[in-house]
Chain A
Amino acid sequence: MTSGTGPVSGTILVVGGGISGLTAALEAAEVGYDVILVEKNPYLGGRVAQLNKYFPKLCPPTCGLEINFKRIKTNPRVKFYTLAEVEKVSGSPGNYDVSVKITPRYVNEKCVACNACAEVCPVTRENDFNFGMDTNKAAYKPHDMAFPMQYVIDGKVCQKESCAKCVAVCKYDAIDLKMEPKNLELKVGSIVWATGWNPYDAAKMDNLGFGKYKNVITNMMMERLAAPNGPTAGKILRPSDGKEIQKIAFVQCAGSRDENHLPYCSYICCLASLKQATYVAEQYPDAKIFIYYIDIRTPGRYENFYRKVAANPNISLIKGKVAQIEEDPATKDVTVVAENTATGAKVREKVDMAVLAAGMQPMMAGTDISLNAPLNESSFVLADPQRGISACGCAKEPLDVVSCAETATGAAMKAIQTLVRR
């Protein structure tokens, strides 16, 4: 860079390796800044890696992730850590000290992803990537398109040295069951929080039966059911008995816009349910689809998508908040009870499966004060450029993927400003 327009010094720390964090890291690195990206999962890609398709284009998220991974591969300025969590932040803009804890992967970079370890591994675990809808081995590949393409061993369930079958079978000397947690002390100039969200715990809404009734699932579970690399290889089947879908209900604002749960609107759920209605309609052209909503929120040009989906005569949109979901213990069918606010009538609809549009809870909810991240009452991160702290994506506010990428690019700009201003 020429004089006067370049960086002074310093590294940018991006916390979270989902679409927002990846974008913030890469956009800054491609200007010419050094970036450290930390991700708590064993893979990058975050929440979007679990999605089947994006609205409104109905294109696969892996497409954009692949490009971003390629950008990481070819850009030496981005250094990333997986299984890494920020534990403590101290210092000041331009001069932050950050402690990062790295959980052992028990698999090193020699792994060639040959699957031999998983084949001999005797321990099964709930597959958290698929929200427990199937199991995998304690030695596992996080998902088909995982980046980095390396296996990982779940230290919580692995029998370690007492078993070590994987060690014996690995031809590449890639497994080390003695791996210890590590601490990383980083010096960085500014911090971008891109920690994203968790689906709101749907079991907290007693009346909706999640956790009690098998055929009440969340919208994120629906993504996994519809994904070709999901527990059902992409076939949407209801959990209780694997039955095909003839009738399905989508329950909007399950937790969102509710003072007892999440006071805010989670922005994406209307669009997500409309999108998921297209998954069902594609697999079951005759299935009846009911969407219960308070307001359909499809801002901007998303309206075009709404119009297109709503034109399907098998999709009914009912203005009304769902009050109750009941299960028929014999058939495991569920009945959705709501008041149609347009007509005032109480409606009951028996369906094969109900999908709760569970809202976004910021990942930062319940985190330690030692992170030094300014949060608002709903646990969204408040950007504070003066302090060299920026936030993007759903760590900042509930957003769609497009806006996540926008705010991430903007956060990269703010992070650079901190470094230059010093």
Chain B
Amino acid sequence: MEKKYGVYICTGCDIGKSLDIEKLAGVAAKSKVPICKNHPILCSPEGVELIKQDIAGEGVNTVIIAACSPRVMYDVFDFGPVLVERVNLREGVVWSHEANKAGGEGEEAAIDPEFQMLAEDYVRMGIVKAQKGELPEPYKPEEEINKKILVIGGGVTGMSAALDAASVGYEVTLVEKEKELGGFAAKLYKQAAKTYPYTDIETPDIQSKISAVSSHAKIDVRTETEVARIAGAPGLYHVSFKPAGTETEWDVPPKVVAEEEAKAGEGAKPSEGGEAAQAEAGGRVYKDILAIDENAERYGAVVLATGWKPYDATKLDSLGFGKYPNVITNVMMEELASKESLVRPSDGKPAKSVAFIQCAGQRDEKHLPYCSATCCITSLKQARYVREQGDDAKAFIFYKDMRTPGQYENFYKSMQQDPGVFLTKGDVVSITEDAKKNLTVEVDNTLIGEKITVNVDMVVLATGMVPTTQNEAILNLAYRQGPSLIDLELFNGFADSNFICFPYETRRTGVYAAGCVRQPMNIPMCEDDAAGAALKAIQCIESAYRGVSVHPRSGDMSYPDFFFARCTQCKRCTEECPFGALDDDERGTPKPNPTRCRRCGTCMGACPERIIGFKNYNIDMIGSMVKSFEVPEEDGIYRVIAFVCENDAYPAMDMAAMKGLKLPAAIRVIPVRCLGSMNMVWIKDAMSRGIDGIILLGCKYGDDYQCHFAKGSELANRRMDNVGETLKSLALESERVKLVQVAIDEYDKIPQIFNEFMEQMEAIGPSPMKGF
């Protein structure tokens, strides 16, 4: 498509009164843009009509709007399939910079040439960006997108997710490694009521769920089954199943760590006749991740609902578990209670007095550092089991904090009113056993102000939940970055999200965790969570089907293109992609999986050969913007480029402008999708043109990272090491390039950040590269 450009300058919102608009229009003329118009209020119906007329009448298909920030009036300046570039004159220039140099006595204040130049440079950059950009087209894989959903785990969460997805027409396969569906919920004697007033205990409704799942025409249940490997990508998964607990030839290879890789390299070569590549690990030979299992089944997305395992109570010998037969766990208690009568293990004697010890091996850095969220309610409920035996039955609950959040407070209250239930905060000092296997529990720091001792028939330890993802890959992803979800150590092994606002976001597109594998939670919450995960799975499939990205660039049609002829197989893109979107083949050439891709451009930033780019965001585009404006050689005039993350730092800059905070006019801002997409060549190009300094503004990184692409800003920071070398090769000071972390609400700090950087540049002096 041949482009026909139109530049439209808004002169409202102080733009016209602060800038020399004629000169600004001159920039467009010099760039041979055939149409350049201005309007006093471009966003008014008349202004928009002006543009629409040119689109219809003049065939303009590439529109450059020099007005306000792209964050506002987005709907007004939407012309359908027309490439629109926004030049941010209002927030980016007029509102955030001093327009005038103070005039002398009697003189009129004149427009500061630096201020005018800033606006002109932004128009130049906008035009170049429009020249180098293309409208993206959705990604359409050769293979048809499959809409089936794989749910792993047949407990309450997995079954709920399967039913939710199936009820809106999606086919589901539900795999469960045990013989029966139901998980822990099926092992419960009773559950705390799920509805108001939350004071009763009731028989779990799990059996009806099991029958609903088993009889649903769209749900294929496979018990005693595990996933051997999940190869491919969202919409295009190829899943190999296996009988639970077995080894098969399609088991996914464990993650190859760098040192082993060189060793395994030999074995990973393709064998003659194009047979599947193999990898060796731990003495076992595995099929390479790219090998194709002809019998694999096709899926579109995955719900991970494998739940939890009870914490290993044998580690709690200090509480008598394993030593004394009548010290049991809360999980064992459910089983005991399900029997005809509640009797203790040692001698089958009715357990008429039972002590419950909360947080057994929990909230304890020696065991589980976290709280399992459900155990307080569980013990209160189990105390009810004890009390159901009659008035002579007694329950004692020793807790650190009674945690019954929300409306379950009502359940707690109902138990407090029961005279047969004794509740106190306290620290268990000891548990001892007498000859008759009765137990004595000694508790200190109780609320009645003294050390107390109780003699009981049985002790129940409220042990916690260990997520199944703690030690097992489970998903067995055939991904070059490894078979499991990554970074789970940040979440104590749970398959949780780092994001508060986006709880289903993980670093593996198309995989959505729900239930207790994600966080400790009660049954109603598991059901809600399952519904959410099912929706995310469907959404991912439909997005893949439409060829667009999922969160956080949801709906984005662009995707990275690779010019493989120049690839040197350095693997940086494969290793650095925060979402593991790339695999590499036996020769080390990256294999992109666009439906795994979140379009952050980290691969583009990582590539030393500059062979990766998007239609509307690429090396040439940003590189050309860097080169599009003049670098003045006069003394005392500096030029700095700020590469600014468009997610957090750029809105913060808009906000600073709205607050009237002023920035130095020497800085040219270039928004980037994520700092992870920063390619070093831009820095090199800029520096060799005589740009005095480069500042990068990105999201906070570290354990509580705010980067929407998880690793982008951190990776950019790591690449800063290489920048030093680049600068050295140009005989420049390393202080000329700096990365600063800015949260979206830190707009008030931006002037200081920029001013300090300018002072630093002035201290170092102008770049010696000017004029080369």
Contact = CB atoms under 8 A, between A and B. Distances in A.
B534 A413 contact: yes
B170 interface: yes
A2 B532 contact: no
A56 to B, nearest CB: 8
A64 B401 contact: no
A376 B196 contact: yes
A377 B197 contact: yes
A285 to B, nearest CB: 20
Contacts of B496: 301
Interface string A400-422: 01110111111111101100110
Interface string B371-388: 111000000000000000
A267 B406 contact: yes
B247 interface: no
B528 A406 contact: yes
A252 B403 CA distance: 14
Contacts of A149: 72
Given A60-B743, A228-B745, A410 B532 contact: yes
A301 B369 CA distance: 8
Given A31-B535, A60-B745, A402-B503, A307 B658 contact: no
Contacts of B533: 409
A172 B525 contact: no
Nearest to A302: B371
Contacts of A409: 503-504, 531-533, 535-536
Classify the interface of chain A: helix, strand, loop or mixed. Answer: loop
B536 A263 contact: no
A5 B409 contact: no
A112 interface: yes
Interface stretch (B122-130, B390-398, B600-608, B700-708): B700-708
B224 to A, nearest CB: 29
Interface in B127-147: 147
B519 A228 contact: no
A134 B404 CA distance: 37
Contact of B370 (A61, A63, A301): A301
A14 B648 CA distance: 27
Interface stretch (B100-108, B537-545, B560-568, B713-721): B537-545
Nearest to B198: A264
Interface string B399-415: 00111111111100100
A264 B167 contact: no
Contacts of B72: 112-113, 149
A342 B658 contact: no
Contacts, number: 242
A265 B500 contact: no
A114 B13 contact: yes
Given A73-B75, A342-B425, A420 B648 contact: no
B492 interface: yes
B456 interface: no
Central interface residue in A52, A60, A266, A414, by most chain B CB within 10 Å: A60
A406 B532 contact: yes
Contact of B535 (A19, A377, A401, A416): A416
A66 B651 contact: yes
B13 A380 contact: no
Given A1-B542, A110-B43, A303-B369, A407 B528 contact: yes
B744 A63 contact: yes
A299 interface: yes
B745 A62 contact: yes
Nearest to B160: A410
Classify the interface of chain B: helix, strand, loop or mixed. Answer: loop
Contact of B425 (A144, A307, A319, A398): A319
Interface in A31-81: 31-32, 52, 54, 56-68, 71, 73-75
A57 B538 contact: no
A404 B499 CA distance: 13
Interface residues of A, number: 92
Given A57-B704, A112-B43, A264-B409, A410 B535 contact: yes
A4 interface: yes
Interface residues of B, number: 92
Central interface residue in A52, A228, A297, by most chain B CB within 10 Å: A297
Contacts of A31: 535, 538-539, 542
A59 B708 CA distance: 12
B503 A341 contact: no
B619 to A, nearest CB: 24
A267 B404 CA distance: 9
A110 B44 contact: yes
Given A27-B536, A377-B196, A403 B744 contact: no
Interface string B441-462: 0000101010000000000000
A354 B596 CA distance: 50
A300 interface: yes
Interface in A358-406: 376-378, 380, 382, 397-399, 401-403, 405-406
Contacts of A307: 365, 369
Interface in A311-343: 319, 341-343
Interface string B68-92: 1000101100000000000000000
Contacts of A304: 369-370, 492
Nearest to B521: A300
B38 interface: no
Contacts of A52: 745
A196 to B, nearest CB: 15
Nearest to A5: B169
Nearest to B546: A32
B406 A405 contact: no
Contacts of B532: 27, 406-410, 412-413
A119 interface: no
Given A299-B520, A303-B371, A409-B536, A342 B445 contact: yes
Given A144-B655, A410-B528, A416-B168, A257 B409 contact: yes
Interface in B1-57: 12-14, 41, 43-44
B481 interface: no
A52 B402 CA distance: 29
Interface in B730-763: 743-748
A2 B545 CA distance: 10
Contacts of B498: 57
Interface string A201-234: 0000000000000000000000000011100000
B542 A19 contact: no
B501 interface: yes
A414 B445 CA distance: 48
A257 B373 CA distance: 18
Contacts of A319: 425
Contacts of B538: 31, 413
B501 A297 contact: no
Contact of A301 (B491, B525, B531, B745): B491
Given A74-B555, A75-B555, A6 B169 contact: yes
Contact of B167 (A296, A341, A417): A417
Contacts of B13: 112, 114
Contact of B529 (A68, A171, A406): A406
Given A342-B425, A402-B500, 5 more contacts: A60-B745, A264-B410, A398-B406, A406-B525, A409-B533
Interface of B: 12-14, 41, 43-44, 68, 72, 74-75, 147, 164, 167-170, 195-197, 363, 365, 369-373, 401-410, 413, 425, 445, 447, 449, 491-492, 494, 496, 498-504, 519-521, 525, 527-536, 538-539, 542-543, 545, 550-552, 554-555, 647-648, 651, 655, 658-659, 700, 704, 706, 708, 743-748
In the complex, the 5 A-B pairs of residues with the closest C-beta atoms, listed nearest first: A64-B501, A409-B532, A410-B531, A299-B373, A60-B745
28 contacts: A52-B745, A54-B500, A59-B500, A59-B706, A59-B743, A63-B743, A64-B499, A65-B501, A66-B651, A75-B555, A112-B72, A145-B651, A171-B12, A172-B12, A227-B745, A228-B746, A228-B748, A266-B406, A299-B405, A299-B520, A300-B370, A301-B491, A301-B519, A303-B363, A343-B449, A399-B406, A403-B525, A410-B527
